[in-house]
Amino acid sequence: MVLCAARPIEQVTVAEIAAAAGMTPAAVYYHYRSKDEVLLAAVRRFARALTTRLCDELDRSPDVPIGDVLDAMLHWCSHRRDAALVYFVRSPGWNSAVEALRGAHRAEVVIVLEAELARRHGKSSPARCGVAATALSSLLEVAAVAWLTEDAVLADLGRRRFGAEVRAIAEDIGAL
């Protein structure tokens, strides 16, 4: 992940991946048909970890504001910066398999958030919870990109204020 986080994926070679993993290129090719499959496996691993962490955050503190959950996810991504950069910044659009995986993962995150919103707001319609969950998932993804790339908005606001704004927007969305 470090290699793909540091520079464009197309510039990373299988030989470099093998060296970073303490393997030979032949050993990499034994397990994966191509560099694309290595990337797909890394993206899949991060997606699973992200979903697991999101569920853990929601389960650990069922009454914590939803904005705090998203903020905690941003900090979690910071501690896995290389993997998060590959997932959120470098891999989108890389190939159809990665895009299919990312789409399936996005749908999984929406389902998790939709269930959480339904639990918190039992009387809200499923459609409303679904739309709000989609918005929260999108907010998480866009905020993670800004957080990881330290874009102009984050640079202008600073991490603390940016996190506060993400929390506030998430609360607005989650209020239903």
Predicted pLDDT at 13: 86
* Cβ–Cβ < 8 Å for 67, 174: yes
What mean pLDDT is predicted for residues 84-99? Answer: 89
Highest mean pLDDT among 18-27, 121-130, 143-152: 143-152
Predicted pLDDT at 61: 81
Whether the model pTM is above 0.85:
yes
- Residue reference for tokens 């990337």: 39
CA distance 74 to 160: 12
**CA-wise closest residue to 90 among 162, 1, 5, 176:** 5
Domains of the chain: 34-175 (1.10.357.10)
CA distance 170 to 68: 8
- 33-58 per-position pLDDT tens digit: 988 898 899 999 999 999 999 999 99
Cα within 13 Å of Cα(95), Cβ side: 11
Percent of the chain whose predicted confidence (pLDDT) is above 90: 68
| pLDDT bracket for residue 129 (50, 70, 90) | very high
Q: Is 104 helix (H, G, I), strand (E, B) or coil?
A: helix
